[in-house]
Amino acid sequence: MSAIQASVPATPVARRGRLTFLGGRVLEYLAVLIVALTLNFLLPRALPGGPLKLFGSPEALARLTAEERAQIATEYGFGDPIHLQFLDYLHSVVTLDLGTSLSDGRDVTAAIGDALPWTLLLVGTSIVATTLIGITLGVIGGIRRREGKGAFTLTGAIVVDSIPQFWLAMLLIVWFGVKWQIAPTFGATGPDGTTVAGLAQHLVLPVATLTITGIGYIFMYTRSSMLSVLTSEPVQHAHARGIPRGRLVRRHVLRPALLPVHTLIMLDIGFLAAGAIVVETVFAYPGLGRLTFGAIAARDYPLMQGTFLVLTLMVVLMNLLADLTYPLLDPRARTGGDR
């Protein structure tokens, strides 16, 4: 299908094809969810060590007999046979009762409910900033590909994309938090509580870290998509017929070029929540990422299973949302194929 095309109404055959496609996708997501649930259960138990260390010092645990260790494990639910633990886990997922944290005794569902809004605030702000900056630079880079600045911008994007998150976070803390004291270096609220100004101040450095490390690949993806559409035959013919370049870009290039970027951004929302573990830990930000890190460090099986489950569901839901919203943006997906 060309980049310059009007939408046409869907036929019954196209509608049946679309329903078949959606049904297939739903089955795929169910299969992914089953595999994800299994991995979420097995991964905590594959880590070295175990939750027994939560119940005393290594010296105290060394003095326990095998029967005492087994009694503790059974009492807290991780001493039963593995298949029974898995059935209990599936039951907890279905009933939304994820158990009790072994490390602090909190209800896992409540702990996740307290941490999730902070992560959504951090990730949502970062996605907006990353999307606006990355797409803007990518569009400019695609349009000015033959200019000297285009190669320089591409090189800069590759360098930025290769920066480790933890290194950049520590650098921002040293310069903007310690040396210049421009922004807070930890937490999400100040002494005055959850005011808008306090929240904004504490978001500056974590959002800057996620945004800077996320701009590069969105820029490169947008630039590549722009180049693909700009060099397509219909756009080249339209330009040869005398259509001004600015009008051509606005009306016939931006929309088809940004369609794949839309999918990338939707998927990035889910993956960025998991990727925020490092940033939230470095900045002591009270989100889902820091909660996950603490659960892993403590080998807290119920809390690990709960946080892994939420992170997995976020990725799956963003994939599903990308599939559902794509037909609203691309007429080809509504008509059942190219015409």
Taking only the tens place, the pLDDT of each residue in 114-161 is 999 999 999 889 999 999 998 888 888 888 775 555 566 777 777 887
Q: How confident is the model at residue 12 (pLDDT cuts 50, 70, 90)?
A: low
Q: How far apart are CA 160 and CA 163, in angstroms?
A: 5
Q: How confident is the model at residue 283 (pLDDT cuts 50, 70, 90)?
A: very high
Question: What is the model's pLDDT at position 271?
Answer: 72
Would you give the end-to-end CA distance of the chain in angstroms? 6
Burial 190-213 (b: 16+ CB within 10 A, else e): eeeeeeeebbebbbbbbbbbbbbb
101: tokens are: 């944290």
- The sign of the torsion formed by the CA atoms of 22, 24, 25, 31 equals positive
Is it the case that residue 205 has pLDDT exceeding 90? yes
- Worst-scoring range by mean pLDDT, 143-157, 172-186, 208-222? 143-157
Question: What is the model's pLDDT at position 44?
Answer: 80
170: tokens are: 């520590």
Residue tagged 């270096």 (tokens): 185
Is it the case that residue 2 has pLDDT exceeding 50? no
Pick the CATH number of 12-46+80-335 from 3.40.50.300, 3.80.30.20, 1.10.3720.10, 3.40.50.620: 1.10.3720.10
For 73-134, the DSSP string reads: HHHTTSSS-HHHHHHHHHHHHHHT---B-TTT--BHHHHHHHHHHHHHHHHHHHHHHHHHHH
Closest CA to 210 of 169, 180, 176: 169
Model pLDDT for residues 220-274, shown as the tens digit of each residue: 888 888 888 877 777 777 777 777 777 777 777 777 888 888 878 877 777 777 7
